[in-house]
Structure 1
């Protein structure tokens, strides 16, 4: 009779300890199982070079500059910030955009790092406002009377837009009242130009440097007439009709709603975010512009969004949605037939082809036009509820779904089970550039797996052996290093707890031949490859 353990796997809490598959565990604690061995997971280790922040709550590292170290941005006071790089190729200002820190914000890396740490030291409100009033038009004092005006005179109106230092253009002002103008060619009568009083710039951190004037003739489209410095209050339009420029591009380039959160980058150069039950998209390659026409409304409130290979997963407090499309102007909503609300927006994680989030019943996977309860055969609703899923914040790491809950941490791999860790964190951020999961633990910022090896504990299923046939007399433990503590439990009683010092075969105490239920437990700080217990030495390899 022999029990041989190798190819170790994680926990399946829903399955009775006697009915577990041979390689699955009753307990898998602080163990890395991707190699099929029992390898101790390493504890988080400190990240050096970061400023001290009281109660940090969100992290982001801009990957470029600073001699290859990039720039860390840290927010405190419980702010759940989502930050993304500019979607523009070779952005001259190296801009970063974020939500969750009051109104949506942005800044070039020069502004963000232009002061004392912690960064961001400075930022601007995301979006460019429209002027608060329409331009006021007036005829010049030398204008001829109506009956002397030329046949080429046309009725015109004007709008004004504002331009930031980053070249971002906002939506237009209200249109001016109509006024007659004509080109001042050689034989034209006097007074064909138009004098404009330009509206003031709205207050706010927008870094506006230019006012741009557009003119529409005979109810046509508005076309570019000229630019003036932001402080300038007047403009005389004497531009001939043949010289007016491009059409107004920013008619619907609204500012994002003040409540916008959950900022996420999508392929195609545009961003997504949400507030309440409303999903929002920016204009492609114009991340400051968020047309109201691009918004999608749902019957449920949105809890989180995640970009996956097939589109955008929208988790709500009702059913999930899958949003697909290559243009922000033509995004399609697919309402998935699975009643699995998301109980924690921070639990929603992009896993590549699909996204995973915490529901009241377990982990839900959404992708490929469908949703399914991923942990249905792994953990019961009662066991899942005990983990406090509403407290989960999770990350994709090493191909696993790594989640932190109220009193601990677990990793889940579909088809293999759970591993639990003696690690806690209040927030984190996955640094894709460095393939590093950064964690907030109290006032410290650490990196997953960069500290010392933790002590692992792995307990096998209950092996039922007919009394009298399980007279186990010897055992062997193969490990990278020693010692390794081996526990043998017979009918619920620990019959052996031994620090194994080598890979040599060793004898077991007698007197347990009539026991039925056998469990094997390993406690170690080193990698364990296999465990064997047998009734005779000839059975052990």
Structure 2
């Protein structure tokens, strides 16, 4: 009679009594690679590097497939979703305030990243000041001055305020003919226009006092000098001197406007713009006649906002009314150290509308950064969810933020959605726009015991709860290990210590109970061959999806999962085989790949009384070190009904047989 004929091997089922296990189920399964039905070993981890950062390392991240970022804190990293990210800009939270880096500053020295800067751009706090500059346009009348007195007939121009501007080395005087010129007449020089009042339409006299105003302008009339060259526009006529122009202010053409400005960090091909300052005071000007000088602070925000090679700018916007309401439109930009900018633009020359209103920087205590589809980054603090503007990873508007009832533990993205775990129950977040992300409460009272246990499994997220591993996704929200563990057995692993990783559809976790460190492999897709333990322990790790590799950290040594060349020693112990009558198995056989270098150690236990009248106990009755697959004899000095077997080896095992006779093994 055969007691054991084991041709399939699966994992442990701690929830079930060892007397109730199916033949293929185990009460011990350590370092067992249960993928093919046979009993195999995992390769050890290897092919490693040593990380230089002092102290306990909690986070590792592979940068550009070559450099290892690592920190002493729990850090979440996201590569920029913006196109043309040639410098591999990367954002991260958990190392103080939210930060970013790229290969121009991160790789100057180890440990990496060598340098980083604050992620967000703060809001300017100083309001810009504004002042009006009046000037002349091309007028209804003009005259050439070559010396002496000239007259200009302003009958067609009518009464009103006039500004006279000149250029060059000349000085021009307005002279009155009678009492038609009121206050403000006098002498105009370059940069110093005069404004005078013509009480009635009349002819005025202009006198060139000194110098000449002769400039050859390549045959073209210059109707306006742009701000920065002169604030006083004029007209020149080639050859004979200057044609001076005067024009009245038109009160019917005036407009009121306000100005705001933003800060812009320009770095390696990307602009990051803050939300605008508070608006300036209202100023009323005549478009085309008047200009406005805007004065700003000459320094940017205080703090670590200035990476090497970056430029900090100020962008100016002003109000503009249209059919769809009033908006701010772009006027110009200047270096942060420049104090003033002169705005002489007409409405049709304004640029794009301001879009950064409400673009708050990331809060200093934001953590848990992840990337959702459509260029949305999401972090959290306490019970608040904090999305970014799409494809603007530096901006996290207050208007986009949502809160949940309980403090958030972590966020993990899968597909088009994200699972948000809390200290009570999870939420499912989905959506394509950051201002309209939807939250669905999952009716499953399962808190997340450790943010680092959360793993993207492809179509769902898995995490450790106090009761077991939980899976959340479309059509699934349950404790998926409830058939394997009771609460007592699961909590013995200390779920708050579990760190999880994805390996080929399996959840690989590592735990530290305070007295025991180890790991486990949970395969949700293989039925009873689902859970086995690992004797190795690693304190941090990184899944590189690009190369489909898992890297694990032991002290400061970073190793590749199954990257070594040595098979791990596995141990597999069966459940209890219960026979109908007392028996004494006489022979056993382990069919596998063992040899003299790598033998298999076979053990068999039986439950019987060691002496007459004594209670029955489970006793190890034989240990065999087998170097081949030939049968071997078992001792024959006892009778029992309950038997257990175990193998320990590195090479694979195909079958374990235990029988009463040699003929039994042949029939097996």
* TM-score normalised by L of structure 1: 0.93
Aligned partner of 2:232 in structure 1 is: none
Counterpart-to-counterpart distance in 1, 2:74 and 2:47: 22
Determine whether 1:325 maps to 2:426.
no
Contact 2:42 2:568 in 1 (8 A): yes
Task: Decide whether aligned partners of structure 1 residues 334 and 370 sit closer, same or farther in structure 2, where only a CA change above 3 A counts.
Answer: farther
Residue aligned with 1:140, SS? strand
Gaps of at least 5 residues in structure 1 are 64-68
Aligned partner of 1:71 in structure 2 is: 67
1:480 Cα deviation from its structure 2 partner: 2.2
Counterpart-to-counterpart distance in 1, 2:286 and 2:113: 51
Counterpart-to-counterpart distance in 2, 1:448 and 1:411: 12
Equivalent positions of 1:305-384 (< 5 A) are 305-368=411-474, 370-384=476-490
1:454 Cα deviation from its structure 2 partner: 2.0
Task: Decide whether aligned partners of structure 1 residues 196 and 262 sit closer, same or farther in structure 2, where only a CA change above 3 A counts.
Answer: same
Aligned partner of 1:20 in structure 2 is: 21
Aligned partner of 1:510 in structure 2 is: 636
In the alignment, which of 274, 282, 287 is matched to residue 183 of structure 1? 287
Determine whether 1:151 maps to 2:252.
yes
Residue aligned with 2:18, SS? coil
In the alignment, which of 206, 209, 234 is matched to residue 305 of structure 2? 206
Q: Which sits farther off after the overlay, 417-426 or 375-384? A: 417-426
1:145 Cα deviation from its structure 2 partner: 9.7
Superposed CA offset, 1:482-502 (max 9, x none) = 311111111121122101111
Q: Which sits farther off after the overlay, 205-214 or 147-156? A: 147-156
Counterpart-to-counterpart distance in 1, 2:338 and 2:663: 96
Contact 1:319 1:339 in 2 (8 A): yes
1:10 Cα deviation from its structure 2 partner: 0.8
Counterpart-to-counterpart distance in 2, 1:369 and 1:418: 23
Counterpart-to-counterpart distance in 2, 1:22 and 1:253: 62
Superposed CA offset, 1:239-291 (max 9, x none) = 11110011011112211111111111112111111110011111111111111
In the alignment, which of 132, 139, 148 is matched to residue 139 of structure 1? 132
Q: Which sits farther off after the overlay, 367-376 or 170-179? A: 367-376
1:46 Cα deviation from its structure 2 partner: 5.1
Contact 1:132 1:201 in 2 (8 A): no
1:339 Cα deviation from its structure 2 partner: 0.8
1:298 Cα deviation from its structure 2 partner: 0.5
Superposed CA offset, 1:393-445 (max 9, x none) = 11112321111111211111223332111112222211222322222222322
Aligned partner of 2:621 in structure 1 is: 495
Counterpart-to-counterpart distance in 2, 1:245 and 1:52: 49
Aligned partner of 2:568 in structure 1 is: 454
In the alignment, which of 497, 500, 503 is matched to residue 397 of structure 1? 503
1:294 Cα deviation from its structure 2 partner: 1.4
Instruction: Count residues in correspondence.
Output: 525
1:193 Cα deviation from its structure 2 partner: 0.7
Counterpart-to-counterpart distance in 2, 1:369 and 1:202: 48
Determine whether 1:83 maps to 2:77.
yes
1:238 Cα deviation from its structure 2 partner: 0.8
Aligned partner of 2:652 in structure 1 is: 527
Residue aligned with 1:221, SS? strand
Counterpart-to-counterpart distance in 1, 2:50 and 2:627: 41
Counterpart-to-counterpart distance in 1, 2:662 and 2:467: 47
Task: Decide whether aligned partners of structure 1 residues 372 and 89 sit closer, same or farther in structure 2, where only a CA change above 3 A counts.
Answer: same
Residue aligned with 2:49, SS? coil
Aligned partner of 1:60 in structure 2 is: 61
Contact 1:336 1:370 in 2 (8 A): no
Determine whether 1:193 maps to 2:291.
yes
1:158 Cα deviation from its structure 2 partner: 0.8
Counterpart-to-counterpart distance in 1, 2:387 and 2:585: 66
Aligned partner of 1:160 in structure 2 is: 261
1:453 Cα deviation from its structure 2 partner: 2.1
1:50 Cα deviation from its structure 2 partner: 4.5
Superposed CA offset, 1:174-216 (max 9, x none) = 11111112322xxx4xxx1111111341112223521111110
Aligned partner of 1:411 in structure 2 is: 521
1:153 Cα deviation from its structure 2 partner: 1.5
Q: Which sits farther off after the overlay, 45-54 or 95-104? A: 45-54
1:310 Cα deviation from its structure 2 partner: 4.8
Equivalent positions of 1:34-49 (< 5 A) are 34-45=35-46, 47-48=48-49
Determine whether 1:92 maps to 2:86.
yes
Gaps of at least 5 residues in structure 2 are 136-162, 164-194, 198-247, 608-617
Aligned partner of 2:103 in structure 1 is: 109
Counterpart-to-counterpart distance in 2, 1:149 and 1:53: 72
Larger radius of gyration: 2
Counterpart-to-counterpart distance in 2, 1:70 and 1:327: 34
1:89 Cα deviation from its structure 2 partner: 2.7
Contact 1:313 1:321 in 2 (8 A): yes
Counterpart-to-counterpart distance in 2, 1:325 and 1:459: 48
Q: Which sits farther off after the overlay, 141-150 or 514-523? A: 141-150
Residue aligned with 2:488, SS? helix
Counterpart-to-counterpart distance in 1, 2:196 and 2:459: 71
Contact 1:280 1:294 in 2 (8 A): yes
Determine whether 1:421 maps to 2:551.
no
Task: Decide whether aligned partners of structure 1 residues 215 and 310 sit closer, same or farther in structure 2, where only a CA change above 3 A counts.
Answer: closer
Runs of 4+ in 1 over 3 A off after TM superposition: 49-54, 141-150
Counterpart-to-counterpart distance in 1, 2:641 and 2:409: 50
Aligned partner of 2:216 in structure 1 is: none
Residue aligned with 1:329, SS? helix
Aligned partner of 2:585 in structure 1 is: 472
In the alignment, which of 485, 494, 501 is matched to residue 388 of structure 1? 494
Contact 1:211 1:229 in 2 (8 A): yes
Counterpart-to-counterpart distance in 1, 2:567 and 2:445: 41
